[in-house]
Amino acid sequence: MKKTLILVAVSMALSACSGRKAVWEGDSSTPPAGDGSATAASPDATAAADAKWAERTTAANVRAAIAEWEKVAAADPGNADVLVSLTRAHYFLADGYLRAEKDEKEYLKTMDQGVKWGEKAMVAASPEFAKAMADGKKFPEAVKLVGKDGVPAMYWYASSLGKWAKKKGFAVLLGQKDNVKATMDRCLELDPGFYHGGPHRYFGAYYAIAPAFAGGDLEKSKVHFKKSLEIAPDFIGTKVLWAAELATKTQDEETFDALIAEIEAAKEDAIPEVMPELRIEKQKAAELKANRGDLF
């Protein structure tokens, strides 16, 4: 009885712990430009953004790409491709360059901007989804209406929301888990190979992080990590998450050490189009190795 009462109390608390208001809940504001100076797009704004994004090995270049894409979004707010690019860019800026504890406030702000752009991207990518949300349909049901063209919007939205919620704390993370899971369930259904096995990689982390009462399952976690690596064996971000979330949760030092060694041996240019991301993943692995004594 006591355990049941605790779970009921947790459930009631979580209903008020989503931590933010979505675009379809009344927050229709456009996220501000990185430097507060977004203006109408010039004809070559997209090309300028793409050029800076190609050189995203510095935070400054990512911010520059964001500023250019924001100009395009201001002039063409229904451009789903640009909205997806803004979502991914904010995610990468936060996850890649603002992970340090001293940057936590900026991390949360940036990741939240990514979530907002992702919400707008999903609305732009799927009129059916947009109508369902406008009509008051519950998000986990409405997201099932998004088609395959909307997978990029869903994937980067859910990735941003999940990382933002995790940083905000356990209650917010659980409060957002149903929306994030429903979105990634749809991605997994429509395109399991998207972004180098991304949906499977997400569920590898999801089932490792979630407590048992909230759906956590360590065996399912391992299955999804393995499936992600079968799809994209050179994407070391999967191994980083496996080491960080599952190996530490199970206190599996042997697997942790093996994964870190494989990441260290991997080439940064194994997948040329995401070389900046792979470089960041190597940095994350180095951080995990340096903190090994605190993890086990």
pLDDT in tens, 153-176: 999 999 999 999 999 998 898 889
pLDDT tens digits, the chain, 296 residues: what are they? 433 333 333 333 333 345 677 777 766 555 543 343 444 455 678 899 999 999 999 999 999 999 999 999 999 999 999 999 999 999 999 999 999 888 999 999 999 999 999 999 999 999 999 999 999 999 999 999 999 999 999 999 999 999 999 999 988 988 898 999 999 999 999 999 999 999 999 999 999 999 898 899 999 999 999 999 999 999 999 999 999 999 999 999 999 999 999 999 999 999 999 999 999 999 999 999 999 999 99
The CATH code of the domain at 29-188 is 1.25.40.920
CB of 263 closer than 8 Å to CB of 285: yes
Neighbours of 218 (CB within 10 A): 15
Give the residue among 217, 146, 158 at the shortest CA–CA distance from 184.
Answer: 158
Per-domain residue ranges of the chain: 29-188, 192-296
- Asked if domains 29-188 and 192-296 share a fold, the reply is yes
CATH class of domain segment(s) 192-296 = mainly alpha
DSSP state of 137: -
Place of tokens 């960041």: 280
